[in-house]
């Protein structure tokens, strides 16, 4: 173009030339990529590694507890039935319901404060009037009638207490009475091996009072207070009853 071109056109050509140079320079010398932040990358890798480590450790511990190896399926387990909530406890069965008091005073044995030789009026004064009069059995000996106080029967003969019988006596209770008694005590056995007791008794020689405990059918442990008729020591020797010596 001539040097006489307008000034605006000259400026336009110069501008186009600079734009072309910049484009060419951009492609010939591209800008460098931004540097990678290695600190952030390292932290990311460490966190990822720790996560994988804890996952593997947890799975290994579970396999060790169940006895399985990785890759094997869990066996089909049948859960044990749980016991019902608030299951009632089985009732405690106490052997015998009677807990008689047995004491010795002035060489006389007393059962629930009653002893041999008391009158009917004396018995009622101690035990009250809540008793039932019973007829004596056909083969009764030394009994005109009976005063029945629950499981306790007091036989009256010639207006006096002849003997006393208590049924359904608590076995552990009588065991304690027998062990604590410091008078003459005797045991009879059912056999020579001495595995089962047939009879146990207290004896007061001064008054011939005899308290005998034995098990009777349908009556449980029965305790009878009576007086000895005949020779006590000869009778127990014949029956094979042995005296218990205090330790």
On whether both 49 and 136 belong to a single domain, the answer is no
Q: Residue 242 contacts by C-beta under 8 Å, 6 or more apart in sequence?
A: 186, 187, 188
The pTM for the full model equals: 0.62
On whether both 36 and 117 belong to a single domain, the answer is no
Q: What is the DSSP letter of 70?
A: T
On whether both 37 and 117 belong to a single domain, the answer is no
Higher model confidence: residue 45 or residue 138?
138
Q: Into how many domains does the chain fold?
A: 2
Instruction: Give CA–CA dist 223/152, Å, rounded.
Output: 9
User: Does some domain include residue 88?
Assistant: no
On whether both 108 and 58 belong to a single domain, the answer is no
On whether both 237 and 144 belong to a single domain, the answer is yes
Higher model confidence: residue 229 or residue 88?
229
On whether both 236 and 180 belong to a single domain, the answer is yes
User: Does some domain include residue 75?
Assistant: no
User: Does some domain include residue 83?
Assistant: no
User: Does some domain include residue 79?
Assistant: no
On whether both 117 and 233 belong to a single domain, the answer is yes
Closest to 186 in 3D by CA, of 114, 235, 115, 116: 235
Digit-coded pLDDT (tens) for 49-68: 666 665 666 656 655 555 54
Domain boundary residue, one of 15, 38, 66 = 66
Q: Is 178 helix (H, G, I), strand (E, B) or coil?
A: helix
User: Does some domain include residue 77?
Assistant: no
On whether both 151 and 208 belong to a single domain, the answer is yes
User: Does some domain include residue 93?
Assistant: no
User: Does some domain include residue 207?
Assistant: yes
Largest CA distance in the chain: 175
Q: Is 151 helix (H, G, I), strand (E, B) or coil?
A: coil
For 239, the domain range is: 102-244
Higher model confidence: residue 119 or residue 32?
119
On whether both 169 and 50 belong to a single domain, the answer is no
Digit-coded pLDDT (tens) for 130-175: 999 999 988 888 899 999 999 999 999 999 999 999 999 999 999 9
Sign of CA dihedral 225, 231, 236, 239: negative
For residue 101, pLDDT beyond 50:
yes
The CA–CA distances, whole Å, from 238 to 35, 185, 188, 233 equal 119, 17, 11, 9
For residue 208, pLDDT beyond 90:
yes
Helices and strands (H, E) in the chain, number of each type? 5, 11
On whether both 51 and 155 belong to a single domain, the answer is no
């Amino acid at each position: 173009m001539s040097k006489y071109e307008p000034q605006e056109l000259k400026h336009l050509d110069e501008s186009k030339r600079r734009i072309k140079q910049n484009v060419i320079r951009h492609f010939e010398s591209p800008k460098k990529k931004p540097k990678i932040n290695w600190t952030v990358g390292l932290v990311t890798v460490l966190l990822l590694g720790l996560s994988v480590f804890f996952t593997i450790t947890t799975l290994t511990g579970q396999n060790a507890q169940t006895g399985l190896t990785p890759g094997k399926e869990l066996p089909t387990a049948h859960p044990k039935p749980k016991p019902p909530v608030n299951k009632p406890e089985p009732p405690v069965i106490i052997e015998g319901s009677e807990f008689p008091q047995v004491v010795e005073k002035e060489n006389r044995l007393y059962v629930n404060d009653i002893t041999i030789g008391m009158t009917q009026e004396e018995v009622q004064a101690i035990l009250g009037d809540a008793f039932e009069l019973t007829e004596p059995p056909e083969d009764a000996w030394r009994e005109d009638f009976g005063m029945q106080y629950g499981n306790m029967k007091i036989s009256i003969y010639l207006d006096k207490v002849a003997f006393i019988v208590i049924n359904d006596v608590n076995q552990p209770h009588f065991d304690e009475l027998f062990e604590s008694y410091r008078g003459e005590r005797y045991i009879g056995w059912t056999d020579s091996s001495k595995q089962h007791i047939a009879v146990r008794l207290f004896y007061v020689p001064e008054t011939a009072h005899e308290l005998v405990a034995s098990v009777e059918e349908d009556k449980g442990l029965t305790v009878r207070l009576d007086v000895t008729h005949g020779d006590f020591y000869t009778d127990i020797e014949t029956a094979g009853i042995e005296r218990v010596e205090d330790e």
